[in-house]
Amino acid sequence: MNYLSKKELPRLRNRSDLTVPEEAIFDLPEKVLQFGTGVLLRGLPDYLIDKANRRGIFNGRIVVVKSTDSGDSGAFDEQDSLYTLAVRGVELGQNVEENIICSAISRVLSAKSQWQDILECAKNPDLKIILSNTTEVGIQLTQDSISATPPASFPGKLLAFLYARFQAFGGSRASGLVIVPTELISDNGTKLESIVIELAHRNGLESSFLDWLESANHFCNSLVDRIVPGKPDADTYKNLTQELGYEDKLLTISEVFRLWAIEGDDHVKQVLSFHKADEGVFVEPDINLFRELKLRLLNGTHTLSCGLAYLSGFDNVISAMQSEKMGAYISNLMMAELGLAIPYPMGEKTPQRFGMQVLDRFRNPHLNHQWLSITLNYSSKMKMRNVPTLLRYYDVFNCVPDYFSLGFAAYLCFMKPVAKERSVYFGERAGQLYPIQDEKAEYFNQQWQQLTPAEVVTAVLQNKNLWDTDLSLLPGFAQSVTENVENMLENGVKSTLESFFLRHTTQLAEINATL
């Protein structure tokens, strides 16, 4: 079986189950310089640019800079920079399976061995955009010299490239670029710009360049959200290869959902014209709405559900969603409580639409998202993702959010250690130990060793060091959490979940009978 390459495309173009690029796409100019070869870039920004090219909208290709020794540069060369994206998941309740040969990447250059070739790209008048995903560690200020070949850090490489651009076009404002980092940190564009400016000062660059850097270029904050697991396992790869009819060393799997929110003005929107090709791309003056939706509904639901689901016997998200009670808990928590109390102004239908997309993602049978991995840094996630929503819920409704209370009680039970090995505390589920990977594990061990369950609830809720506020002051919340914790410890977490729904079903029936 042959590997994917340009010469294989003619025989594949008559396939109805495969999207194959037309020959004309390979003649498009290079409009994008991209730092990073990772699967997130291939599965989201590069996919979106490829989609726009196929629709005749963006009409530009990507030069990729490979900055590290690891990665797939050889595979890109061997496959003419082509790769297959296998989209698998659920959308609007329907299973989706789509195979796309992406042709957005024109070539991959090594920063280590081809730095001068990369700097030559700065002279390209068609170039308009710089993208990056160098992990969160990449956007950090380190002492760096732009005269190195190459500079050591990503900001150093970016500064050297921008300086070469400035020199090539004599500081023309029209030669400025739109720079969109996709690293998963808040205000990534703002932080990257401040680091590049500081490095420019440290490198003694002239004031005219500094003026051009700040006035002619646009550093955009962005938020990306798509699960791209990486290289498929051996069995999945074998099955997909048989389905596709060719080998692909860069074969990438992604979920259906995609979100790329980019903060920018009308100029940025015009340059990033690929946004017109997909409803998952947003170029807006303020992207905090998207950040809040993701944080409160997707991340917040994960955090409030992980302890409850894991202690109820579910190992991964899909198995929980397939359970009548646990699936209903997750859905109702998100739609009936969290979605009604997001601490950010938005239309009432906005969280509903986003929430339905999140539930589709949770039901994706092709993803194996482990609940135990979601419990990592449980306490800090609870504070950041869920406490503001809890406070907002009380502001709006002034009553106990029952699903939130149950999830919070499960969090406290999950944080009850029964053993310690070296510096790691362990809880227990069905006679098996699990690690409590939380910086507050020692604190919770002390509480559970010294106090009754009711006292643990009160002490934890009152702890302002944990939550920056006294949660015990919320009317009825401490009592509700205490009842749930005591029920979980006496009868088991899964039994408590089932009795919770029995009680709510009975209450709902009684209410309906009076109407």
Q: Output the DSSP codes for 253-315.
A: EE-S--EEEEE--HHHHHHTGGGGG-TTEEEES--HHHHHHIIIIIIHHHHHHHHHHHHTT--
The encoded tokens of residue 255 equal 């979920």
* Look-up of token digits 């009975």: 506
Does 53 share its domain with 162? yes
Question: What is the per-residue pLDDT across 355-380, written as a single tens digit (0 to 9) for each?
Answer: 999 999 999 998 889 999 999 999 99
pLDDT by residue (tens digit) across 55-69?
999 999 999 999 876
| Nearest CA among 15, 14, 20, 16 for reference residue 84 | 20
Residue 130, in any domain of the structure: yes
- 306 within a domain of the structure (yes/no): yes
- Shared domain for 280 and 292, answered yes or no, is no
Q: How many CB atoms lie within 10 A of CB 16?
A: 5
Say whether 105 sits in a helix, a strand or coil: strand
- Cβ contact 31:58 at 8 Å: yes
Contact 127, 121 (CB under 8 A): yes
The answer to whether residue 77 scores a pLDDT higher than 70 is yes
User: Looking at the structure, do residues 33 and 166 belong to the same domain, yes or no?
Assistant: yes
Q: Record the tokens describing residue 286, joined without a space.
A: 């303020």
191 with 329, same domain: the answer is no
Domain-terminating residue out of 284, 300, 318 = 284
Rounded-to-integer distance, Cα 360 and Cα 22, Å? 32
* Structure confidence at residue 161 (pLDDT): 98
Is there a single domain that holds both residue 125 and residue 203?
yes
Q: Which two tokens stand for residue 23?
A: 């020959």
Q: Are 80 and 5 in contact (CB under 8 A)?
A: yes
Tell me: do 256 and 313 sit in the same domain.
Answer: no
In whole angstroms, what is the distance from residue 445 CA to residue 423 CA? 12
**The last residue of a domain, from among 218, 251, 284:** 284
Whole-number pLDDT of residue 41: 97
Q: Is 91 exposed, middle or buried (0-12, 13-18, 19+ CB in 10 A)?
A: middle
pLDDT mean over 445-451: 97
CB 401 within 8 A of CB 390: yes
Residue found by looking up tokens 């306490």 in the block = 379
pLDDT tens digits, one per residue of 498-512: 999 988 766 655 545
Q: pLDDT band at residue 71, thresholds of 50, 70 and 90? A: low
Q: How many whole angstroms from its chain centre is CA 196?
A: 25
Total count of domains within the chain: 2
* Gap between the Cα atoms of 182 and 44, Å rounded: 10
Counted residue by residue, the chain has a size of: 515
Instruction: Show the domain range for 95.
Output: 6-284
CATH number of the domain within which 175 lies = 3.40.50.720
At residue 325, the pLDDT reads 96
In this predicted structure, what is the pLDDT of residue 16? 92
Regarding whether 297 and 217 lie in a shared domain, the answer is no
Are residues 510 and 426 part of one domain?
Answer: yes
Q: What is the mean pLDDT of residues 20-35?
A: 97
**pLDDT single digits (tens) 463-472:** 999 999 999 9
Residue among 412, 15, 360, 71 at smallest CA distance from 230: 71
pLDDT, tens only, 383-422: 999 999 999 999 999 999 999 999 999 999 999 999 999 9
Q: Are residues 24 and 143 in the same domain?
A: yes
- Whether residue 278 is found in the same domain as residue 300: no
Same domain as 175, residue 73: yes
Taking CA atoms, 493 is separated from 329, 406, 410, 487, 500, in Å, by 13, 10, 7, 8, 10
Q: Is residue 515 pLDDT above 90, yes or no?
A: no
- CA 332 – CA 329 distance, rounded (Å): 5
Instruction: State whether residue 222 is helix, strand or coil.
Output: strand
Q: How far apart are CA 214 and CA 508, in angstroms?
A: 59
The predicted-structure confidence for 419-442, as pLDDT tens digits, reads as follows 999 999 999 999 999 999 999 999
Q: What is the CATH number of the domain that holds 364?
A: 1.10.1040.10
Residue 1 lies in a domain: no
Q: Exposed, middle or buried, 349 (CB in 10 Å: 0-12/13-18/19+)? A: exposed
What's the average model confidence in pLDDT over 24-36? 97
**Whole-number Å distance between alpha carbons of 327 and 317:** 9
**Can you give the pLDDT at residue 513?**
56
**Who's near 54: CB < 8 A, 6+ residues apart?**
19, 21, 22, 25
Within-domain flag for 250:
yes
Gyration radius (Cα) of the chain, Å: 26
Question: How much of the chain exceeds pLDDT 70, in percent?
Answer: 97
How many CB atoms sit inside 10 A of residue 265's CB? 12
